[in-house]
Amino acid sequence: MTLLALTRSPRHGGRRPAHPASLLGILLTAACLAPANAENFELGACIHLALNRGDAKTVLPALAQAGFTSFRDDAYWAPMEQQRGQIEMPARYRELESAVDSLHKAGGSPLVILDFGNDFYDHGSQPVSPEAIEAFQRYVRFVVTYFKDRVNQYEVWNEWNTGFGTYPPQTHGEASAYVKLLARTYATIKAINPRARVIGGSVAGADLTWCKEFFAAGGLRYVDAFSVHSYTLFHLHSNPEVAIRILDSVRAEMQRASPGTQIPILITEMGWPTNQGHLGVSESTAADYMVRFLALARARPWIQGIWWYDLIDDGTNRTESEQQFGLLRSDLSQKPAYAAATRLSRMLAESSSVRSYAVPGDSYAVVGHAHDRDWLIAWKLEPEVRGWQEGTAAATDIGTQFDWVSPQLPEDGAPILWERQKGSWVISPMRAPGSG
């Protein structure tokens, strides 16, 4: 994700992440906690080991402490084929491979992106010619064979709809051309690893027009899941309910194109930057938005995974939005969103019967059940959003049994967590005990 133009999607103190020695124990605990009746849902974060930003010994404990059982990273084509027709795993991917190995052994599930062009084919742009598509398949075969059963999730390209990966830079990639590449890639992956989940779309900004074109071109025949990056940064307001409303629209169009389809939607990028200035929000607002988005998304059973963008800030420039999407700062100190994720991620991922309700005062209540306990997250829309139809999301259920929360909700949109204890609802800290 890179902030290039309006047509593109965007891509402190506290405790440091757990020591690497505890990684496997933490991850195995997280992987084994889910009750038998928990719905299929995965939480992860985007990392940048393929760009040599960090190392596995730093990234994996940070993921584990936050309760994430997956990460998303690229396996770029160009570094693998630096001589035409010769493909090999470059040394620069050593940390990425180490992270894949460790997460797989711990019971987690890495998500690898197959993406971006190679200068030997179609001028390094999106592969659309027969020669480039065939060359892309050789690269895909190499990657899937190399990782074998260590990777069972592959996303085909990243934000094709915006022209990402084109040279010279373009602002749009045709859906029909993408489907042509996807169809070949789906068959290639399945022939080598039939268990692998092929994820297609990777749509920047939930581009509804492009989604319709993708569905019309038959793209749903070649995916096990459809991925969306539902950033809201260029909307009138950036509240998370906007993103949920758009996702509902994407789901409705998917159902119209393929009635009764059970293909899930994955949010493989989502987040808010905490930079100062254009597009940035405060660190506390980013945390509140994350909780609200996760709660509403979790109440939609057709959303089966979210990968937060991203785990660690990409730089220290406080005025550059692209460098400030992390849940952790560059020095690994925690932002409020990381502490909230640590407190809530396992609860949300392992919950069953999650439902959302509209309550008086332009408010939401989301309820679920995890670890033999009922929980409730509720919040009130900010004053500037109330009455803005595009900034509200539909509730999944109807009822008045949670209307009592409304008078207790703050006006600034901050969510509150309750847990039922001995038959009564008790406010519970949103942050994990002991977090910074």
Residue 331 inside a domain? The answer is: yes
Same domain flag for 36 and 155: yes
Residues 6+ apart with CB under 8 A from 119: 78
Whether 433 shows a pLDDT value over 50: the answer reads: no
**Mean pLDDT of the 92-102 span:** 98
Q: Which tens digits make up the pLDDT trace of 31-64? A: 443 433 346 899 999 999 999 999 999 999 999 9
Q: Find out whether 268 and 11 touch, Cβ atoms under 8 Å.
A: no
Same domain flag for 361 and 380: yes
Same domain flag for 335 and 361: no
Residue 255 inside a domain? The answer is: yes
Predicted confidence at residue 112, as pLDDT, reads 98
Query: Which of 352, 377, 402 marks a domain boundary?
Result: 352
Residue 88 inside a domain? The answer is: yes
Q: The domain spanning residue 185 has which CATH number?
A: 3.20.20.80
Same domain flag for 26 and 96: yes
Residue 14 inside a domain? The answer is: no
Q: Which tens digits make up the pLDDT trace of 112-160? A: 999 999 999 999 999 999 999 999 999 999 999 999 999 999 999 999 9
Residue 286 inside a domain? The answer is: yes
Number of domains into which the chain is organized:
2
Same domain flag for 136 and 195: yes
Q: Which residue has the higher pLDDT, 436 or 87?
A: 87
Report the percentage of the chain scoring pLDDT > 70.
90
Query: Which of 352, 384, 416 marks a domain boundary?
Result: 352
Same domain flag for 421 and 295: no
Whether 432 shows a pLDDT value over 70: the answer reads: no
Predicted confidence at residue 25, as pLDDT, reads 52
Residue 11 inside a domain? The answer is: no
**Mean pLDDT of the 203-207 span:** 91
Q: Which tens digits make up the pLDDT trace of 2-25? A: 333 323 333 333 444 444 444 445
Predicted confidence at residue 39, as pLDDT, reads 60
Same domain flag for 265 and 404: no
Same domain flag for 124 and 272: yes
Residue 170 inside a domain? The answer is: yes
Predicted confidence at residue 186, as pLDDT, reads 98
Whether 105 shows a pLDDT value over 50: the answer reads: yes
**Side chain identity at 436, as an amino acid letter?**
G
Residues 6+ apart with CB under 8 A from 342: 65, 66, 67, 431, 432, 435
CA angle 266, 118, 96 (to 5 degrees): 55
Phi (first) and psi of residue 388, to 5 degrees: -90, 105
Give the mean pLDDT of the chain.
Answer: 91
The whole-model pTM stands at: 0.92
**Mean pLDDT of the 365-380 span:** 96
**Mean pLDDT of the 104-108 span:** 97
Other C-beta atoms within 10 Å of 191: how many? 10
**Mean pLDDT of the 211-238 span:** 94
Predicted confidence at residue 237, as pLDDT, reads 86
**Mean pLDDT of the 199-219 span:** 96
Same domain flag for 362 and 326: no
Same domain flag for 362 and 213: no
Query: Which of 352, 368, 401 marks a domain boundary?
Result: 352
Q: pLDDT band at residue 284, thresholds of 50, 70 and 90?
A: very high
Same domain flag for 333 and 406: no
The parent domain of residue 189 ranges over 20-352
Residue 242 inside a domain? The answer is: yes
Q: pLDDT band at residue 167, thresholds of 50, 70 and 90?
A: confident
Q: Where are the beta strands (DSSP E) in 75-206?
A: 111-114, 153-156, 197-204
Same domain flag for 207 and 226: yes
Q: Find out whether 39 and 354 touch, Cβ atoms under 8 Å.
A: yes
